[in-house]
């Protein structure tokens, strides 16, 4: 069955969300992944939204984290401070973030492009809640297009900390031990992070993608898993649910 790269990324992300876990998501592809996970492999997944929706039963794709649908049949209609406090208490398993740049240690930039903060080449939206969420949730996942401009040797600005400069750096900065980047899901591959060096390590390449394709679209040296695999493509049931129930109007999957 044919599929596009956005559909592949969403299906892969959904499979990485464990049943009976908690995830904080924004709108867009992360929300689609969480909704798909609830309808397939993780029916007891609890979804939080930054604006305060805790455990809603989403009737359809929300257009913002404060959309009234993020409170539909929820466990609680709380507030942003309460969601962030829950993360700070170590109760949230996963979060998703995105940005313009990510480096080998999983640091993310969504603030500026350029070396001068006060006069950048491009000024981006900034952190939102990304810094707080990736600092406090146990596992951070990133979904991004795979280009040399996005996977960079050094971020122009660190909006959201990954493993900073390597082993021990997060803890030295005062962030909770055991937290940090978990998966980077791109339109070319799936990467994790090496336990010893904290560097990005490719675990699988997508069907039809070669190691050379990935390397040519990355601005730093990647590590490669000894058991490098081929990403399992979306199956017919995943695509049916994603297209008909999660995103029937193609708000997200139509962006491929």
Q: Which residues are catalytic?
A: 50
Cβ neighbors of 160 (< 8 A, separation 6 or more) are 97, 99, 107, 108, 109, 110, 127, 130, 131, 134, 135
- Give how far Cα 184 sits from Cα of 33, 79, 114, 195, 251, Å: 14, 29, 24, 15, 22
What tokens does 145 get?
Answer: 């297009």
| Distance, CA of 79 to CA of 70 (rounded, Å) | 12
CB atoms within 10 A of CB 130: 24
| Cα 171 from chain centroid (whole Å) | 22
| Distance, CA of 83 to CA of 80 (rounded, Å) | 5
Cα four-point dihedral sign 9, 13, 14, 16: positive
Number of residues in the chain:
256
Radius of gyration of the CA atoms of the chain, in A: 17
**Residue 101 β-bridge partners:** 109
């Amino acid at each position: 069955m044919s599929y596009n790269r956005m559909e592949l990324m969403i299906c892969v992300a959904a499979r990485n969300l464990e049943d009976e876990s908690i995830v904080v998501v924004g709108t867009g592809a992360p929300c689609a992944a969480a909704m798909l996970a609830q309808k397939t492999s993780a029916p007891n997944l609890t979804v939080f939204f930054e604006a305060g929706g805790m455990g809603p039963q989403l009737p359809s794709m929300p257009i913002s984290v404060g959309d009234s649908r993020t409170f539909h049949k929820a466990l609680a209609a709380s507030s942003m401070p309460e969601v962030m406090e829950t993360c700070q208490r170590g109760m949230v398993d996963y979060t998703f973030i995105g940005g313009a740049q990510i480096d080998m240690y999983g640091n993310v930039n969504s603030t500026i492009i350029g070396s001068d903060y006060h006069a950048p080449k491009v000024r981006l939206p900034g952190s939102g809640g990304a810094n707080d969420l990736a600092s406090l949730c146990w596992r951070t996942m990133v979904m991004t297009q795979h280009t040399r401009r996005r996977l960079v040797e050094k971020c122009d600005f660190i909006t959201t900390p990954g493993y900073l400069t390597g082993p021990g750096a997060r803890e030295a900065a005062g962030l909770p031990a055991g937290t940090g980047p978990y998966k980077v899901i791109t339109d070319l591959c799936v990467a994790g992070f090496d336990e010893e060096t904290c560097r990005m390590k490719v675990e699988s390449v997508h069907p039809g993608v070669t190691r050379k394709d990935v390397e040519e679209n990355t601005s730093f040296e990647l590590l490669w898993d000894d058991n490098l695999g081929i990403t399992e493509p979306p199956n017919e049931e995943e695509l049916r649910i994603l297209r008909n129930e999660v995103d029937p109007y193609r708000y997200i999957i139509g962006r491929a």
